Amino acid sequence: MRATARLLVTAHEDCEEHRPFPGHPERPERLRAVLEGAASAGATRLAVEVDEDAVLAAVERVHDAELARRLREACGAAPAIFDCPDNPISAGSYRAATAAVACSLTAVDAAVRGEAVSVFVAARPPGHHALRDRAMGFCFFNNVAIAAEELLARSVGTVAIVDFDVHHGNGTQAHFWERDDVFYLSVHHYPFYPGGGAADETGGGRGRGFTRNFPLAAGADDSVFTGAVAAGLEEILKTTHPRAWLVSAGFDAHREDPLGGMGVSDEGFAAIGAMLGQARGESPLIAVLEGGYSLEALRRSVRAFLVGLAETAAS
């Protein structure tokens, strides 16, 4: 795979159409902050087309087909609550969720074709809490799990998923729990929503040892958080040889985030980007937006993360 651009970003205007009630932290303005951060890091925007049939086929590798149907029908009666109190929906929530998947699929396509060293998926709503048959935690479709399945369908080889969102990615872990073709690493605040992600959760069946959780106490700063990421990356490389890397890039561990309760700085996210850039070697890396709810901190954190990632790729 020959890279012709160092850093691309995928985005689609429909991702702004998910509009929870006023004051909800997962608001459309997040996407604008992320795109500003990515642009200031030198990312080039890649056009995304939403092919609903292709999106639904990809969704059904991870989710029950009824989930998409139920969400589409529920949006016809919006505003409403979908599956749990965490998931208020608007008339455009289904459109936004399908656009987010399309952004992820476009990123996979660009990475596999060798059009970029790294691709950042600037999409919302986020995805890593979404379960096979149920939405939860602001998430409807599990974008990063869908991207992993797309990579595997293209015979790329073993995939590593690194999740540094402040919340444990329970949906992603559940999907790959008994798999040895995907290594799932999560560094997160614990105990915290959604409740899982203990250190002894390491996978089951043939997937035993392919899940690794680093639960961290409230207030973890750059040293603690990046140290856990570094230790997790070392375990991935000792266990398997990923041919592609996916990142659940949540920035709600930032010390200014209103929800996360952690102490990571802009420089901490830059360090995480640099570590990922070193670990992935020549393999493609796709980072998919998850959380991050302070707009200014989100803008700065995305920029710092992508600069760290790009500088490592250039070295």
Distance CA 243, CA 193 (A): 31
Q: Which of 12, 18, 63, 129 is catalytic?
A: 129
Residue at 264: amino acid letter? V
Distance CA 251, CA 301 (A): 7
One-letter-per-residue 3-state SS of 146-183: HHHHHHHHCCCCCEEEEECCCCCCHHHHHHHCCCCCEE
Q: Is the CB of residue 195 less than 8 Å from the CB of residue 216?
A: no
Annotated catalytic residue 129: yes
Distance CA 163, CA 274 (A): 15
Q: Residues 133, 139, 143, CA angle at the centre, nearest 5°? A: 85
Burial of 239 (0-12, 13-18, 19+ CB in 10 A): middle
Residue at 92: amino acid letter? G
Positive or negative CA dihedral for 265, 191, 144, 229?
A: positive
Catalytic amino acids? 129
